[in-house]
A and B are shown apart, each in its own frame.
Chain A
Amino acid sequence: MSSDLEGVREVLRVAELTKNYGGLKAMDSISFAVNRGEVMALVGDNGAGKSTLVKALSGAQPPDSGQILINGQPIELRSPRDADDAGIGCIHQSLGLVDALNVPENVFLGRELQRKRFGFLPELDHASMRAKTVELLERFGVNVSSLNKPVVKLSGGQRQSIAISRLLLQDVSLVIMDEPMAALGVDEGQRVMDLVSTMRDEGISIFIISHNLEHVFQIADRIAVLKNGRLVDVVETATTSRDAVIKMITFGSAN
């Protein structure tokens, strides 16, 4: 990261983000900020608008109105490429893997390594992508029996690791994860949590969605609560009780 940005405290700020699906307000004028180096959790009931917010921040589905600022600069995220270029890495709820492709192809999809055949014909550098993939997965201590298998044959945890590996290829300052622990076993879930800590220690800001409040209280510095497309509040984990958060999720207020 360039040093002149170190002075900017907020890695992300959103202002009055709104998204309508027909008559339904999936996001209703949402405003908040994520600070540099912090882990912020986003919680809320099913249908609260969490994934809609993630899609707006990843360029997958632009909002109807509102503003997004990265490192203090207003930016328009019209496509996943734009988010990529802005240093936002994202893992979507559906993981975004292509079942039919193998492990390195999934890890490198969208940012392939290439070489020149006969000195001029660009072609995929399968060998380098394989080697780099092995390196990335080893860094997580992930077991993947065969890199050549289409990823449809891998377990939930293995698929999750591949989705996360993708992020590490990118120069990210903010990582957004939409329920990365869902459908994982206890051990695998804990491993993802460890990974989040590692990324935070490397100075990456994390915006993580989870239904698991135990995880949220373990990892997050602050918690944003969403209900029916509206931001209820943003609270400090250290000074908030789990009951208060549950009340906010269910009733839209802590009392």
Chain B
Amino acid sequence: MATNVKSSTPANNVGHADRHWLLQSVGLTAVVIVLAVIFTIINPRFATLANLANVMTQASHYIIIAVAMTFVITSAGIDLSVGSVLALVTVIGFAFIKSGMNPALAVAIMFALGAVIGAFTGTLIALVKIPPFIATLGMMVSLRGLALLHSAGTMHFGLPETLTWLGQGKVFGVPVPVIIAMTVAVVGAWLFNHTKFGLYVRAIGGNREAARLAGVPVNLIEILVYSLMGLVTAIGGLVMIARIDSTQATIGTSIEIHIIAAVIIGGTSLFGGRGTIYGTVLGAVLLSMMTNALVIAGVDNFWQLVIMGIVVLLAVAINNLRENRIPVFSSLMRRSR
């Protein structure tokens, strides 16, 4: 019998990558560049080096948190509680620091708290079988309540310089938050494409039962995914409060929509199984560019919210279209071929 097993180029051996996915990343990169050119033509101020550094700095905590959200969404989950986790973790951390605790210890506590909260959410989903949407919705409300109980009406500010450096410092002219975000992205991409953990996350999102039958510890992986989400949200929160040198109980409200949008625009499937960290980073940069351009153009804050919501819905619609999930469109597409 004839064998015809094509071995493709070694460069192509990224875990999940096939040509479709590669093309999509190239496409998204092109969109980012074209948008940048358009924004610059409309308002030359956009292209100044200072503004671009500003855009990237503002994008950094979104990039960080969205990298973890890519794992969650690829596992066929969702996490609506990231904004509340960010608020609770930062107000508690900030209060510890202001009370004279060693900043390093306070940061360690923030990270641990984020991971523990995430593990709890993951347990609700994996073992108590509460659907991710509902479980994280409940956590979103409860944790926001806890943050408010802890410091309603209080604006914390005045971090030690060692910490503000994380948000405001520069190394060889590159903002530190951008360096942290890129590090998180590179480590995230490695985890996603080159480790057992990443493979299991994709397997669970693709077909939970098949993964279980293959011997994947599905519940453990799911709990770990949400723990990672909590931990990384704390990292993103630290970078955010270091940059603005303040926090309060309402910080991060509706940040989840921004994060989820970045992941979906990046090309990660809302239905689970397939995702891309590179796309997520581009998605986050794209959103920040858009927000920045709207601000420079003087668009009203409330209109920005309206536009952000529409962008999210559009991104999901395009995602569905791409995966032939909309019957009307897929039959139209078939006919037009």
Binding site for B on A (CB under 8 A): 58, 60, 79-81, 84, 90, 92, 94-102, 105, 109-112, 114, 117, 122-124, 126-127, 130, 134, 137-138, 141-150, 166
Task: Report the Cα distance A250→B318, complex, angstroms.
Answer: 51
Give a binary string over B4-18; 1 marks a CB under 8 Å from any A CB, 0 the rest.
111110101111111
Contact of B8 among A92, A97, A148, A150 (CB under 8 A): A148
A100 with B206, Cβ < 8 A, contacts A138-B3, A141-B3, A144-B5 known:
yes
Chain B residues touching A, majority SS: loop
Binding site for A on B (CB under 8 A): 1-8, 10, 12-19, 190, 194-196, 198-199, 202-203, 205-207, 209-216, 269, 272-274
A191 to chain B, nearest CB (A): 8
Docked-complex contact B13 and A126, CB < 8 angstroms: yes
Docked-complex contact A124 and B199, CB < 8 angstroms: yes
For the complex of A and B, list the 8 residue pairs with the smallest distance between their C-beta atoms, beginning with the closest: A100-B273, A141-B1, A100-B206, A110-B215, A110-B214, A98-B206, A109-B214, A96-B210
Docked-complex contact A134 and B196, CB < 8 angstroms: no
Docked-complex contact B5 and A109, CB < 8 angstroms: no
A147 with B203, Cβ < 8 A, contacts A100-B16, A100-B274 known:
no
B272 proximity list for chain A (CB < 8 A): 100
Residue of B nearest to A58 (CB): B213
Contact of B18 among A92, A150, A166 (CB under 8 A): A150
A185 to chain B, nearest CB (A): 15
Task: Report the Cα distance A80→B211, complex, angstroms.
Answer: 10
B14 proximity list for chain A (CB < 8 A): 126
Docked-complex contact A96 and B214, CB < 8 angstroms: yes
B210 proximity list for chain A (CB < 8 A): 94-98, 109
Task: Report the Cα distance A58→B213, complex, angstroms.
Answer: 8
B16 proximity list for chain A (CB < 8 A): 100-102, 105, 150
Docked-complex contact A102 and B18, CB < 8 angstroms: yes
Docked-complex contact B12 and A96, CB < 8 angstroms: no
Residue in B19, B215, B269 with the greatest tally of chain A CB atoms within 10 Å: B215
Task: Report the Cα distance A46→B327, complex, angstroms.
Answer: 32
What are 27 A-B residue pairs whose CB atoms fall within 8 Å in the complex?
A95-B210, A96-B209, A97-B210, A98-B211, A98-B214, A99-B207, A101-B199, A101-B203, A102-B15, A105-B202, A109-B211, A110-B215, A111-B215, A114-B196, A123-B194, A124-B194, A124-B196, A126-B14, A126-B194, A138-B3, A141-B2, A142-B5, A143-B5, A146-B8, A147-B6, A148-B12, A148-B19
Docked-complex contact B216 and A109, CB < 8 angstroms: yes
Q: A105-B199, A123-B195 provided; 18 other pairs, C-beta below 8 A?
A: A81-B215, A84-B215, A90-B213, A97-B207, A101-B16, A102-B15, A105-B203, A117-B194, A124-B196, A130-B7, A137-B5, A142-B5, A143-B5, A146-B6, A147-B5, A150-B16, A150-B18, A166-B214
Task: Report the Cα distance A144→B17, complex, angstroms.
Answer: 17
A124 proximity list for chain B (CB < 8 A): 15, 194-196, 198-199
A144 proximity list for chain B (CB < 8 A): 4-5
A100 proximity list for chain B (CB < 8 A): 16, 202, 205-207, 269, 272-274
Task: Report the Cα distance A123→B1, complex, angstroms.
Answer: 35
A137 proximity list for chain B (CB < 8 A): 3, 5
Residue of A nearest to B13 (CB): A126
Docked-complex contact A143 and B18, CB < 8 angstroms: no
A134 with B7, Cβ < 8 A, contacts A84-B215, A148-B18 known:
yes
A125 to chain B, nearest CB (A): 9
Docked-complex contact A142 and B3, CB < 8 angstroms: yes
Task: Report the Cα distance A149→B8, complex, angstroms.
Answer: 11
Residue in B8, B10, B199, B211 with the greatest tally of chain A CB atoms within 10 Å: B199
